[in-house]
Chain A
Amino acid sequence: MSASEPSDRRTGRPDEIKAVPVRRPGRWIAAAIVLIFAASFARTIITDTGTNKGFQWVWVGHYLFDSRVLHGVWTTIYLTFLSMVIGVVLGIVAAVMRLSPNPILSRASWLYIWFFRGTPLLVQVLFWYNIATLFPTISLGVPFGPAIVHEQANSLITPLAAGLLALGLNEGAYMSEIVRAGIISVDEGQTHAAQSLGMSRLQTMRLIVLPQAMRVIIPPTGNETISMLKNTSLLYVASFTELTYSVTQIYNVNYKVIPLLIVASIWYLVLTSILYVGQYFIERRYGRGFTRSERASMRARWLSFGGGKQRR
């Protein structure tokens, strides 16, 4: 806009419009308050340099990359990954069974979901780990017939297998409800259209319904994965060397409880943050074609902070 010229009274032309960005003092004040609190809180924590009391950051740094801690981190990672894979597969199977027109399948799935959501995960871990008290030997084979595999429970179900069974079966029950929510979120017209094309129920589910259901399934599944990352710490009752247990073993000897718990927390935060990134890319992939939830890019938001163009 050019600088305003005094209005020409003789021709009656109106003044140039002086366009000023909307002043938003509230934003600046709120931002300043939050930043001041954040800075003073950060200062309190970071300047605590005691070596015997308080945060003891010296010891946090010392143990952050300790070999036992790293071994615990690795164990936590693969436990989370494997039990989520088991959980998601079981969840999809259980959800599809639940929605099946076959009443036996539907009821069986309901029973599985009801039992594994209804008992505490800690109890399930203890049960699977000590399964030999109930079933000293396990045989797999023809029902009411000859056994193909006949083994001691403790050798067939190793501590790792027991942990994965407990975490995986529990996760499958919770995942089945998430998958079911995704499936019923897909418009019924899609199923009708698929059936009118002559697709079988399985084809419909696999090619039409599930891909569209994924968009609704991904965010809660990301939640469950992050939750599973912490649930693996319950395996400490099965004497499993995951992160929390490894940290406990160290502080049992040197009594530096707070620094080591901070070490464990830092690692859990790092792993959770990595999952955030993964979830973002997966959501973007499955959200293709749906524009409703498009948000302004981060750059646009920062640029419009001081006022000016309204954020869409």
Chain B
Amino acid sequence: MVTWRKSLLAALLLSCVVTIAACGSSSSSPSSSSSASSGSTSTSTAAPSSGTANAAVAKLVPAALKSKGTLIVAADASYAPNEFIGSDGHTVVGMDADLSKALAALMGLKANVVNATFDTIIPGLASGKYDMGASSFTDTKAREKVVDFVDYFSAGTSFFTKASGGTSVSGLADLCGKSVSVESGTTEETDAKAQSVKCKAAGKPAVNVLVFPTQSAANLALSSGRAQISMADSPVAAYQVKQSNGTFKLVGQPYGTAPYGLALPKSANSAPAVLAALKVLESNGTYKSILTKWGIESGAIPASEMKINGATS
């Protein structure tokens, strides 16, 4: 090939590569803002006053977050009705998603709720990948060592089993010698393993704790008989039993009522802003209406109990 043709070809290829790279980077921003805007239109019917920023709240938002403009919220969408994938197949919906969008709007930010496996959310907050974790986190002292929490809900743990042929238990103590399916990284996993230690100390057979990456996998193990019982947060257990159309049933008594917290990275200093926004939602009735929409208003807490790092255990 003639030399000038070679250099012309090289120049053309180079410009193609540069154009493709530029297209790739610029197309990512419009798609993320469109998903955030489609998210806010779905919640506008539930919370009419959440669209506008609140000046007092916006003042507390840290500068880094304000300049970013987006609040990246992580939720493990296998936990209906708190967080699950909607009917379009990719948007995270549920109580935590609605609450996050309402809070972000008051802070003058756009919420981008992403799906992430539960046990990756707290490490993701610590590494700066996410700005907030709204995934039915129980506020515990152990977790408070890694992230900050803004308490916003109250829930206990319930047991459920197969409706026909399932095993009945009345509480944690009955789990000795049984197989339990739990989700990885949850307080249920910690409780089941602690109970297993107690069973062995008392001379009884240990609890066979089966840990799965998502609650859906835990439910599947229950329905296939690998596990005899499953444990999940009470509102979630009640909702999933209802949705299962008679496959599962609740057994025993819920235990360990504890606050849910919105998880925030310690370094970001966003807890005061989130707490202020939450209290605004509580005072204007949006908080109650979001919970009622998902049928879990029994776990609502009064404004006096909404605090930063209020773990009881």
Q: Which residues of A contact B (CB under 8 A)?
A: 126, 129-133, 136, 152-154, 159, 236-237, 239, 245, 248-249, 251-253, 255, 257
For window 220-247 of B, CB contacts with A under 8 Å fall at 220-221, 223-226
- Which among A126, A252, A253 has the highest number of chain B CB atoms within 10 Å? A252
Cβ–Cβ contact B185 & A252, under 8 A: yes
Q: List the 6 shortest-distance A-B pairs measured between CB atoms, nearest first.
A: A130-B224, A239-B210, A257-B123, A132-B224, A133-B224, A132-B225
Cβ–Cβ contact A154 & B225, under 8 A: yes
Cβ–Cβ contact B212 & A239, under 8 A: yes
Give complex CA distance A245, B146 in Å: 22
Cβ–Cβ contact A132 & B212, under 8 A: no
Contact of A133 among B145, B189, B223 (CB under 8 A): B223
Q: Does B53 contact A (CB under 8 A)?
A: no
Known: A129-B221, A248-B184, A253-B142. 7 other contacts (CB 8 A): A126-B220, A131-B224, A237-B212, A249-B211, A252-B189, A255-B122, A255-B145
Interface size on B, residues (CB 8 A): 23
If A237-B212, A248-B119 touch, whether A129 touches B184 (CB-CB below 8 Å) is: no
For window 193-228 of B, CB contacts with A under 8 Å fall at 210-213, 217, 220-221, 223-226
Cβ–Cβ contact A132 & B226, under 8 A: yes
Cβ–Cβ contact A136 & B122, under 8 A: no
Q: Does B126 contact A (CB under 8 A)?
A: yes
Cβ–Cβ contact A129 & B123, under 8 A: no
Residue of B nearest to A256 (CB): B123
If A237-B212, A237-B217, A239-B211 touch, whether A252 touches B224 (CB-CB below 8 Å) is: no
Cβ–Cβ contact A236 & B221, under 8 A: no
Cβ–Cβ contact B184 & A130, under 8 A: no
Contacts of A126 in B (CB 8 A): 217, 220
Cβ–Cβ contact A130 & B126, under 8 A: no
Give complex CA distance A159, B220 in Å: 14
Residue of A nearest to B223 (CB): A133
Give complex CA distance A310, B217 in Å: 61
Give complex CA distance A252, B210 in Å: 15
B309 CB to closest chain A CB (Å) equals: 16
B248 CB to closest chain A CB (Å) equals: 13
B275-302 CB contact bits vs A (8 Å, 1 = yes)? 0000000000000000000000000000
A193 CB to closest chain B CB (Å) equals: 51
Give complex CA distance A251, B122 in Å: 11
Contact of B221 among A130, A136, A253, A257 (CB under 8 A): A130
Residue of B nearest to A130 (CB): B224
Give complex CA distance A253, B122 in Å: 11
If A237-B213, A239-B212 touch, whether A252 touches B225 (CB-CB below 8 Å) is: no
B186 CB to closest chain A CB (Å) equals: 9
Give complex CA distance A245, B184 in Å: 10
A126 CB to closest chain B CB (Å) equals: 7
Residue of A nearest to B227 (CB): A239
Cβ–Cβ contact A154 & B224, under 8 A: yes
A122 CB to closest chain B CB (Å) equals: 11
Residue of A nearest to B211 (CB): A239
> What are 25 A-B pairs with beta-carbon distances under 8 A?
A129-B221, A129-B224, A130-B221, A130-B223, A130-B224, A131-B224, A132-B224, A133-B223, A133-B224, A152-B225, A153-B225, A237-B212, A237-B217, A239-B210, A239-B211, A239-B212, A239-B221, A245-B211, A248-B119, A249-B211, A252-B185, A253-B142, A255-B122, A255-B145, A255-B146
Contacts of B126 in A (CB 8 A): 255
